[in-house]
Amino acid sequence: MSVRARRRIDGWGIAGWIFLILLLFFATLPMVWMLITSIKTQFAALQYPPEWFPRYPTIEQYVRLLSPQSEVGYVFLRYMLNSFWVSLASTVLGVLVAVPAAYAFSRFRFPGRNALFFSVLFRNMFPAVVFLMPLFIMMRAFGLVNTHASLIITYLTFGLPLSIWLLKGFYDNIPVELEQAARIDGCTRFQAFYLVVMPLSAPGIIATAIYAFITAWNEYVYALTFLNSEALLTLPVGLQRFFAEYATNWPGLMAASFIMSVPVVIMFLVLQKYFVRALTEGAVKA
């Protein structure tokens, strides 16, 4: 390799590192600013020019939000519990439906299989807001408005198409000979699926669960439309309670937003290796 070629490769490598550093900066700056604002007093959060780091930091907002004895803390923790319930329920149900559906698309051959599979993905071609009014009318007809069930069912319709597509690609990479060997050893099809395929597809299932949980955890528009009871609100909708008519509690809002982001960040950091493995193995057919 010539010196000029090595320099060109090194130049592209340096440019790549610069791009990654800039991308990391723009990705982390909002989180850092949110955390800094959350430990400011109300006066320090509104002063101009702004302080990049507060002179007198305080965790008063976190204490109020995480204390069930305070009125704000009781309401905030109730919102968080609602979000956990809706997100976990939609995640569990989504995985229970996506796993057998993706396995059927991957292993079975039946008339209209490809058309049905692509029709499942067809829903993702449209923005979610397009289905807002039809779903609201449907939920009202079934008496599910102002219930968590309406959100769980709605989040299933959003998460299932991509979950099925992701898991199908993963099952396509698991050799069918492994199931055939288990069948020869006396296993039924379900036992071969449960004992052989399920352990091998664990990264894909975990990635699907992460995607479904994050989608439900962050959703705002449908939660705002379907829920009108204070006791049923989820965190994304509940955060708007920090906005008043004449003033906004910016430190409290930033503290609540930071607490809301912590579960998702921790879950992704812990399970990211499974998520990356599922994306890479599910994207390349063996």
What is the predicted pLDDT for the residue at 208?
85
**Residue 8 resides in a domain:** no
Task: Give the domain CATH number at 119.
Answer: 1.10.3720.10
**Residue 45 resides in a domain:** no
**Residue 18 resides in a domain:** no
pTM (predicted TM-score): 0.81
**Residue 11 resides in a domain:** no
**Residue 236 resides in a domain:** yes
107 touches 101 (CB < 8 A): no
How many domains does the chain divide into? 1
What is the predicted pLDDT for the residue at 141?
92
**Host domain of residue 212:** 67-283
What is the predicted pLDDT for the residue at 129?
83
Taking only the tens of pLDDT, the chain with its 286 residues reads 555 555 555 667 788 888 889 988 888 888 888 888 888 887 777 777 877 888 888 888 888 888 888 888 888 899 999 999 999 999 999 999 999 988 888 888 888 788 888 877 777 778 878 888 989 999 999 999 999 999 999 998 888 888 888 888 888 888 888 888 888 888 888 888 888 888 888 888 888 888 889 889 989 999 999 998 888 999 998 888 777 655 677 888 888 888 888 888 887 777 776 666 655 554 444 4
